[in-house]
């Protein structure tokens, strides 16, 4: 199996990637490879991210090679049956507080409250002003209906017992306030405004939840095609909290035991460079225990998508 063909650009060139892959294949210790990448001028964070990706795809490759041939396939031709690993995509690399605890964006001081490397999760504080949260709720309230999910057979929408909230979507740039928030998000995440899906608002009442799921679509399902044709795969999500529920409603990442509390004005960002559970981005909205919970979600695509 070959290395991912797409280049991430920047200092981590295809040549360096090939070199790192050959070192991994030769069973060189990852910390030595990492040290050498840093010595070759790759910033530490980028070197860790890229090396993690290469190691994961190598492990996935080895795992596939060890799995028995599925029923109906000829023994001895196992390698011909290996599925290609999920395509690796560029993902947003948000501005993070490397030198200061605050990030200046759109005249606001956004803080980084927590960062996790794998899965890549960042919790931002003060991304939205309190009155911006209130205005988004007021604009959405008259338009909300029962939430749906993408039907992976037809490509349309359907209701699902795993998602019991209600919600609505604005058009991108629908009002001055919405456009301002969307441009702020684009600046913070360093990802084009046009690659962001329309802002979606969700309301959860007591007992309502969004069971753990992935935000990318499974590209092998027929219903994924119309979705992928308009902007490509999702590569990151930003869930912004519009109120602080008195109890419950955290966003959880069960694979790593992380629960992000819903606090008004804060947001949780996570990225996934491939449509695969190895990203560790299984996540859910935990049941609201008291009060209600309002969020605004922005999904980021590989390419420009519908407004």
Applying CB under 6 A, which residues contact ligand PD2? 202, 210, 215, 237, 239, 251, 283-285, 295, 297
Q: Report the candidate in 298, 246, 250, 291 with the shortest Cα–Cα distance to residue 271.
A: 298
d(CA 179, CA 218) in angstroms, rounded, equals 30
Q: Report the candidate in 296, 307, 299 with the shortest Cα–Cα distance to residue 167.
A: 296
- Shortest Å, Cβ 276 to ligand PD2: 17
Bridge partners, residue 232, by sequence: none
Cα–Cα distances (Å) from 278 to 144, 214, 273, in that order, read 34, 11, 10
- Shortest Å, Cβ 282 to ligand PD2: 10
Residues 183-222 that bind Zn ion (CB under 5 A): 215
Residue 98's contacts (CB-CB under 8 Å, 6 or more residues apart) are none
- Shortest Å, Cβ 244 to ligand PD2: 13
- Shortest Å, Cβ 297 to ligand PD2: 4
Q: Which is nearer to ligand PD2, 164 or 297 (CB)?
A: 297
Phi, psi values for residue 2, rounded to 5°:
-90, 170
- Shortest Å, Cβ 260 to ligand PD2: 8
**Residue whose Cβ sits closest to Zn ion:** 215
d(CA 181, CA 249) in angstroms, rounded, equals 23
Bridge partners, residue 239, by sequence: 268, 297
Q: Which is nearer to ligand PD2, 172 or 283 (CB)?
A: 283
Q: Which helix (H) or strand (E) holds 297?
A: strand 293-301
Which entry of Zn ion, ligand PD2, none binds 202, CB below 5 to 8 A by partner kind?
Answer: ligand PD2
Q: Which is nearer to ligand PD2, 16 or 169 (CB)?
A: 169
Q: Which is nearer to ligand PD2, 93 or 166 (CB)?
A: 166
Which entry of ligand PD2, Zn ion, none binds 284, CB below 5 to 8 A by partner kind?
Answer: ligand PD2
3-class secondary structure, 274: coil
Size of the site for Zn ion (CB under 5 A): 1
Residue in this structure with the two tokens 């070959």, named with its chain if needed: 2
Distance of CA 290 to the CA centre of its chain: 28
- Shortest Å, Cβ 165 to ligand PD2: 7
Contact 307, 173 (CB under 8 A): yes
Q: How far apart are the first and last CA of the chain?
A: 38
Which entry of Zn ion, ligand PD2, none binds 285, CB below 5 to 8 A by partner kind?
Answer: ligand PD2
Q: Which is nearer to ligand PD2, 4 or 287 (CB)?
A: 287
Q: Which is nearer to ligand PD2, 22 or 148 (CB)?
A: 148
- Shortest Å, Cβ 100 to ligand PD2: 28
Which residues of the shown chain bind Zn ion in the complex (CB under 5 A)? 215
């Amino acid at each position: 199996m070959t290395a991912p063909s797409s280049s991430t650009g920047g200092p981590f060139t295809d040549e360096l990637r090939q070199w790192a892959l050959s070192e991994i294949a030769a069973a060189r210790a990852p910390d030595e490879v990492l040290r050498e990448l840093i010595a070759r001028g790759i910033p530490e964070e980028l070197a860790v991210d890229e090396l993690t990706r290469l190691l994961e795809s190598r492990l996935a490759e080895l795992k596939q090679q060890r799995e028995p041939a599925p029923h109906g396939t000829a023994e001895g031709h196992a390698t011909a049956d290996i599925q290609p690993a999920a395509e690796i995509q560029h993902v947003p690399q948000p501005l993070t507080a490397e030198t200061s605890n605050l990030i200046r964006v759109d005249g606001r001081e956004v803080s980084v409250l927590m960062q996790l490397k794998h899965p890549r999760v960042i919790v931002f504080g003060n991304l939205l002003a309190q009155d911006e949260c209130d205005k988004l709720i007021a604009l959405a309230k008259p338009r909300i209906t029962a939430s749906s999910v993408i039907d992976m057979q037809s490509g349309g929408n359907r209701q699902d017992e795993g998602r019991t909230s209600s919600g609505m979507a604005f058009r991108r740039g629908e009002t001055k306030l919405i456009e301002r928030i969307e441009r702020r998000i684009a600046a913070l995440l360093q990802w084009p405004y046009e690659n962001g899906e329309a802002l979606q608002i969700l309301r959860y009442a007591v007992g309502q939840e969004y069971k753990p799921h992935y935000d990318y679509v499974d590209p092998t399902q027929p219903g994924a095609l119309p979705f992928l044709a308009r902007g490509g795969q999702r590569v990151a999500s930003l869930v912004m909290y519009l109120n602080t529920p008195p109890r419950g409603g955290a966003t959880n990442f069960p694979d790593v035991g992380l629960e992000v509390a819903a606090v008004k004005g804060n947001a949780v960002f996570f990225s996934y460079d491939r449509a695969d559970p190895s990203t560790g981005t299984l996540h859910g909205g935990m049941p609201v225990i008291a009060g209600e919970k309002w969020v605004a979600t922005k999904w980021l695509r590989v390419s420009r998508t519908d407004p």
